[in-house]
Amino acid sequence: MGIGRVLIVGSGGREHALAWACLRDAPGLSVIVAPGTGGTAGIAENIAVDVIDAQAVARLAAEREVDLVIIGPDAAAAAGVADACAARGIPVFGPTAAAARIESSKTFAKQVMETAGIPTARWCAGDAADRTRLSGFIAELGGACVVKADGLALGKGVMVCGDVAEAERALDECFGELRFGDAGRRVVVEELLTGPEVSVFGLSDGDRVRTLVPARDHKRIFDGDRGPNTGGMGAVAPPDGAMDAFVDEVSRTVLDPCIAALREHGNPFVGCLYAGLMLTPDGVRVLEFNARFGDPETQVVLPLLDESLLDILTACVRGDVSAGVARARPGVAVGVVAAAAGYPGDVRRGDVITGTDALDDDVLCFHAGTARDGAGTFRTAGGRVLCVTAIGPDAEAARARAYGNLARVHFDGLQARSDIGRPVAAGARS
C-alpha cells in the first residue's frame, strides 16, 4: 500500500517522535497530528480533535483521505478509534477497543497471562463483595503487595503496600472513597516483586511480532527514584548494554503468547504491545501490558531504530510483518524530560520556552506540553513540556550530551532529574 498521508492521534512527546520517525523514513510524507503540540506544528499539520471521540477521529481521517492512522494514547484505543476507522475502511495501526482491554482491564490482562502461561506476579482480583477473599490473599502475602485499580487511572492506580494495614487501607480507598472512581471499583492485588524494570515494545499484525530495542523509563519525579510517580521523567535505551538474548526471551515467553491468546479470544491485536517487565531474582515477570507505545520510551527507542518505522507499521496493518528483533543503531539513547513548575500536580502554563533552536544538529527535542503563541514563541502548555534525546556510544556519553543540550533550554520553573540513564537504586521508594 502506498502511503502518502498519515494521521497520528495524540499530543505527547511520543506522537512528536512518531511523526519525526515517519518523516525520517519518507521525507515527502504528509503528516497530520491530531491534536498535536507546538513541536509537531513545525513538521506536520496539527488539527484539533478530541482523541476519545472515535467518530470524530475517523471522520477526520476519511475527510483528509489518510492512508494510515497511528493511535498514540491508550484512551483513544479504549474509546474505539481503531474500530471507527476500520468501519470506514481506513487502515489503522492501533488495537480495537476489545483488544485494548489488555491495558484497560488489569483483570483481563491477568486472565490472559494465566491462560497463556506468561510469567507474572501471583494475584487475586475482585470488587467490594470479594473483600474477604482479597483480605485473605493479602494476609497470605504478609501484607507485602501491590493494589491496582482494574481500569485506566492515568498511570496512578497502583499502590505499593508494605504491610497488611497499608494494603487494607488501599482497598478502603478504592472501594469506599472511590479514589480512582469507577476504575477502582474492581482491583487486582498482586505479590510485591523486586528488581529493575524494563519496557519492551512488540509491533504486531495480530499474529507475528517485530520487537524494538528495550528501554527503561524513570517514573518518579525526583533523583534516586524518590517522590511521587509521574508519566515518566526520562528514559534510556537499551538500559543494560546489549540485550538481544533478553529480547528474544521476552518475545518467546511474553509477547508471542500474549498475541496468540488475544487472537484465540477473537480479539486480534494490531498495534504496539508494550510489556512492562520486572527482572526479579527468579526471572522476568510481567507487571503490566499496555496497548500503545510508551512515553517517554518512544523518544529514545525510535531514534535508535535502524529500519523504517513506516514500513513496519504498514506491514502490521497489511498482516505480513516479519517476526524478529528490529535492527537498531549501535549506542545508547538517553532522553531527559523537562517538566513544568508544579508537575506532577497542578502545573503552571504559559511560560516562555527558549533555547530549543540552540541544540546540536543530531540532538532531538520532542515537544509534549508546548504551544506556539501568535508571535510564534513556544510556551509551556502541560506537565511534561519536552524531552531532549541524545545518542552516544555508551550511556554516560549519551547522558553528557543530553544534559549539555538541555542546559541550553530555559523556561521558568523547569524541573528535570539529573540521573536519567543511570542505574536505578534497587527498591528505592518515596
Contact set with ligand AMP (CB under 6 A): 121, 146, 148, 158, 160, 190, 192-193, 197, 276, 287-288
| Closer residue to ligand GLY (CB): 90 or 153 | 153
Q: Which residue is nearest to ligand AMP (CB)?
A: 288
Pick 208 or 219: Cβ nearer ligand GLY: 219
Name the residue nearer to ligand GLY (CB basis): 29 or 76.
76
CB atoms within 10 A of CB 350: 12
Distances (CA, A) of 49 to 6, 31, 36, 96, 302: 15, 15, 9, 19, 25
SS3 call for 326: coil
Residue placing its CB nearer to ligand AMP in the complex, 271 or 276: 276
- In the complex, the smallest distance separating the C-beta of residue 430 from ligand GLY, rounded to whole angstroms, is 17
Determine, following the binding rule CB under 6 A, whether residue 232 of this chain makes contact with ligand GLY: yes
* Span interacting with ligand GLY, options 174-182, 237-245, 287-295, 319-327, rule CB under 6 A: 287-295
Contact 156, 204 (CB under 8 A): no
Among 120, 290, 356, 380, binds ligand GLY (CB under 6 A): 290
Report CA-CA distances (Å) from 150 to 70, 181, 184, 258, 403: 26, 11, 6, 19, 37
3-state SS, residue 356: helix
Note whether 337 and 224 are within 8 A (CB).
Answer: no
Give the separation between CA 296 and CA 96, rounded to whole angstroms.
Answer: 23
Considering only 186-194, 289-297, 349-357, 363-371, which stretch makes contact with ligand GLY by CB under 6 A?
289-297
Taking CB under 6 A as the rule, does residue 380 contact ligand GLY?
Answer: no
Shortest Å distance, C-beta 192 to ligand GLY: 20
Shortest spacing between CB 428 and ligand AMP, in angstroms: 10
158 binds, among ligand AMP, ligand GLY, none (CB under 5 to 8 A by kind): ligand AMP
Residue 295, SS3? Answer: coil
Q: Which of residues 135-174 bind ligand GLY (CB under 6 A)?
A: 155
Residue 206 three-state SS: coil
Complex with ligand AMP: residue 301 or 310, whichever CB lies closer? 301
Of residues 67, 56, 55, the one with CA closest to residue 6: 67
Closest separation between CB of residue 338 and ligand GLY, Å?
A: 16
Query: How far, in Å, CA of 161 to CA of 146, rounded?
Result: 6
3-state secondary structure of 204: strand
Q: Which does 225 bind (CB under 5 to 8 A by kind): ligand AMP, ligand GLY, none?
A: none
If the CB atoms of residues 159 and 381 are measured against ligand AMP, the closer one turns out to be 159
Residue least distant from ligand GLY (Cβ): 294
Q: What does 294 interact with, of ligand AMP, ligand GLY, none (CB < 5 to 8 A by kind)?
A: ligand GLY
- Compute the least distance from the CB of residue 290 to ligand GLY, in Å: 6
Binding flag, residue 217, ligand GLY (CB under 6 A): yes
- SS3 letters for 86-143? HHCCCCEECCCCCCCHHHHCHHHHHHHHHHHCCCECCEEEEEHHHHHHHHHHHHHCCC
Would you say how long the chain is, in residues? 430
**Three-class DSSP category at 161:** strand
Query: Residue 368 binds which entry of ligand AMP, ligand GLY, none, with Cβ cut-offs from 5 to 8 Å by kind?
Result: none
Write down the H helix ranges in 128-255.
131-140, 164-175, 244-250
* Region of 36 on the Ramachandran plot (φ > 0 left; ψ -120 to 50 alpha; else beta): left
| Beta carbon nearer to ligand AMP, 67 or 190 | 190
Q: Does 103 bind ligand GLY (CB under 6 A)?
A: no
Among 295, 356, 368, 399, binds ligand GLY (CB under 6 A): 295
Site residues for ligand GLY per CB under 6 A: 155, 217, 232, 290, 294-295, 297
